[in-house]
Amino acid sequence: MSSAGKLIEGRLKHLESHLERENPVLLKTVQSFRKLDRVARSMGLLDPEDSYATQIPWWPLISVLGTFSAGKSTFINHYLGFKLQRTGNQAVDDRFSVICYSRENNAHSLPGVALDSDPRFPFYQMSDEIEHVAKGEGRRIDAYLQLKTCPSEQLRGKILIDSPGFDADAQRTSTLRITDHIIGLSDLVLVLFDARHPEPGAMKDTLDHLVSNTINRPDSGKFLYILNQIDATAREDNPEEVVAAWQRAMGDRGLTAGRFFTIYSPDQALPINDEALKERFERKRDADLEEIHSRMKEVEVERAYRIVGALEKTARDIEEKAVPELSTSLQLWKKRVIWGDGIVFGLVFLLLLYFSSELGYWQGFSFAPPWLESFTSSAWLLYGTLAVVVLVAYALHHLVRSITAKGIIRKLSGRAGALGIKGDLARAFKRNTRPWRTIFNKKPAGWGHFARKRLYQVTQDADGYIQILNDRFTNPSGDPETTEQQAKAID
């Protein structure tokens, strides 16, 4: 079954209407995601009520991570120009806050279910993920997530995520699972550290999870490492040593290159009596804040490219990873079934041989039971017995198929994540084990010439979308007339 369910089709139409109003450049990509979905559903990689389009956030996503005392909320409030997040030296919020724009003048806080049930947001169906790592916690989604709205113009067209402090959370396993989820989805990740506690011991959890585990990622360029509240070091004899200690701690975790920032909030700055020192601190702060805010603004452009990139990557992953993995699994299954059939039918044959010998049905090498003549003279008895034998053999064969398939399904259950594939490989393999499919099929169910052609069309579409985006943001010739025509074509 390759058709979409009514629920997911309604969500995709709602997404299209949103894109038509706010980002028409990406409108056609939804149709390309539909093509991908049809291929994946026919192969069993996707549920009829699921879509690849709902597995990525369509708004630019910026996450702010770090320890509980790193000043994340203060940084966000200053960026928004709106006192939205509570601040303090201790942990003041133990939930992930998803912050988005609202036209209303007042800010609102909504429960986690608002995120868990809306595919447009980055935590869609996050309760299922939490349930996997902490049994029973999926029902307590409101204890992990909240949605906040704010009228700040800085938020228009993007989403911010404020995380709880790593070392302030009792629900650690679930929190790290959510953190890994948002890191994967984010266009920009700001990792904040507390300049008042820059030594490695105080930052161990953050360093281990947000530095050691991310430096080898292909998208490591989206991480900005920020030493916040640097004004607290102004009273030190050697403020530069604080920054040096922080950078050494980063280097110990393998991060020896990259852009480091040192900032503090202008709204809550500590007094610095030395005017020359104050001017130096403010100049460095303003330069770093300007660069950080510039990167935050650029995510609107980067998100469009990331969505098209995700479209092309998913299409290639199906053909280059999912299909070979399923084909290999089918060959392994065939081999195990043949061996299993050989063992089972061999044992049955030996048992029949033993009992017939014990009953004296053999005369030398001739099978001559006393009932053989009457048995062969009755056609209905002969054909009836043959039918029973065939049915028993068929049942034994399918029992072997089922048992051998279960082992392969268990192996495939975690393979999609290991291979970086979006989709359920175990579910796709099950589709190949249906009774009417022979074990000698080399191609996975749903895969063939038309599926390959459809994926090729998706990759061609993706190239076209990239060209449209390039035309929108670049003009190597510098021709103003060309730029104007490009803008009109896109609009």
CATH number, domain of 119, equals: 3.40.50.300
Give pLDDT tens digits for 131-147. 666 666 667 777 778 88
Rounded Cα distance between 176 and 244, Å, is 28
Confidence label for 88 from pLDDT (cuts 50, 70 and 90): low
Confidence label for 207 from pLDDT (cuts 50, 70 and 90): low
pLDDT, position 120: 65
DSSP string, 363-400: ETTEE--TTHHHHHH-HHHHHHHHHHHHHHHHHHHHHH
Strand partners for 51: none
Q: Give the contacts of 289 (CB within 8 A, at least 6 positions apart).
A: 263
95 domain-assigned: yes
The count of structural domains within the chain is: 3
Give pLDDT tens digits for 2-12. 666 778 888 88
Angle at 62 between CA 60 and CA 63, to 5 degrees: 145
Which span out of 64-73, 174-183, 231-240 was modeled with the highest average pLDDT? 64-73
List % helix, strand, coil for the chain (3-state, nearest 5): 60, 10, 30
Q: Is the full-model pTM beyond 0.75? A: no
Q: Is 169 helix (H, G, I), strand (E, B) or coil?
A: coil
Measured over the CA atoms of residue 368, residue 370, residue 373 and residue 378, the dihedral's sign is negative
Give pLDDT tens digits for 431-484. 999 988 999 988 999 999 999 999 999 999 999 999 888 887 776 666 655 545
Which position has the higher pLDDT, 262 or 205? 262
Question: Of 271, 301, 334, which residue is a domain's last?
Answer: 271
Q: Which of 34-43, 156-165, 333-342, 406-415 has the lowest mean pLDDT?
A: 156-165
229 domain-assigned: yes
Question: Are 442 and 485 members of one domain?
Answer: no
Give pLDDT tens digits for 239-259. 777 788 777 877 777 776 667
134 domain-assigned: yes
Question: Are 258 and 385 members of one domain?
Answer: no
Cβ count within 10 A of residue 117: 13
Confidence label for 201 from pLDDT (cuts 50, 70 and 90): low
Over range 164-171, report the average pLDDT.
56
Helix axes of 172-185 and 126-133: crossing angle, nearest 10 degrees: 140
Over range 79-86, report the average pLDDT.
83
Confidence label for 170 from pLDDT (cuts 50, 70 and 90): very low
Question: Are 166 and 223 members of one domain?
Answer: yes
Which position has the higher pLDDT, 349 or 93? 349
Give pLDDT tens digits for 301-334. 888 888 899 999 999 999 999 999 999 999 999 9
pLDDT, position 490: 44
Q: Which of 86-90, 105-109, 280-284, 447-451 has the lowest mean pLDDT?
A: 86-90
Question: Are 405 and 471 members of one domain?
Answer: no
Question: Are 266 and 369 members of one domain?
Answer: no
Confidence label for 166 from pLDDT (cuts 50, 70 and 90): low
pLDDT, position 317: 93
26 domain-assigned: no
Question: Are 259 and 129 members of one domain?
Answer: yes
289 domain-assigned: no
Question: Are 173 and 225 members of one domain?
Answer: yes
List phi, psi (to 5°) of 163.
Answer: -100, 155
Which position has the higher pLDDT, 473 or 206? 473
Rounded Cα distance between 192 and 57, Å, is 23
pLDDT, position 2: 60
Rounded Cα distance between 360 and 70, Å, is 88
Rounded Cα distance between 339 and 382, Å, is 30
Rounded Cα distance between 286 and 281, Å, is 9
Over range 151-157, report the average pLDDT.
85
Confidence label for 489 from pLDDT (cuts 50, 70 and 90): very low
Question: Are 105 and 230 members of one domain?
Answer: yes
184 domain-assigned: yes
Question: Are 127 and 242 members of one domain?
Answer: yes
The mean of the pLDDT values for the chain is 81
Question: Are 372 and 239 members of one domain?
Answer: no
Rounded Cα distance between 70 and 250, Å, is 16
Question: Are 266 and 374 members of one domain?
Answer: no
Residue pair 110/146 in contact (Cβ under 8 Å)? The answer is yes
pLDDT, position 169: 47
Most distant CA pair in the chain: distance in Å? 117
Give percent above pLDDT 90 in the chain.
Answer: 25
Question: Are 206 and 261 members of one domain?
Answer: yes
pLDDT at 64 over 60: yes
Confidence label for 91 from pLDDT (cuts 50, 70 and 90): low
pLDDT, position 6: 78
293 domain-assigned: no
399 domain-assigned: yes
Tell me which H or E stretch contains 100: strand 96-101
Residue pair 185/222 in contact (Cβ under 8 Å)? The answer is no
Question: Of 271, 292, 311, which residue is a domain's last?
Answer: 271
Task: Residue 395: give the domain boundaries.
Answer: 323-453
Measured over the CA atoms of residue 25, residue 26, residue 27 and residue 33, the dihedral's sign is positive
Give pLDDT tens digits for 353-387. 888 887 877 777 777 777 777 777 777 777 888 88
What torsion do the CA atoms of 355, 359, 364, 368 make, to the nearest 10 degrees? -100
What single-letter DSSP state applies at residue 210? I
Q: Give the contacts of 374 (CB within 8 A, at least 6 positions apart).
A: none
Q: Is 379 helix (H, G, I), strand (E, B) or coil?
A: helix
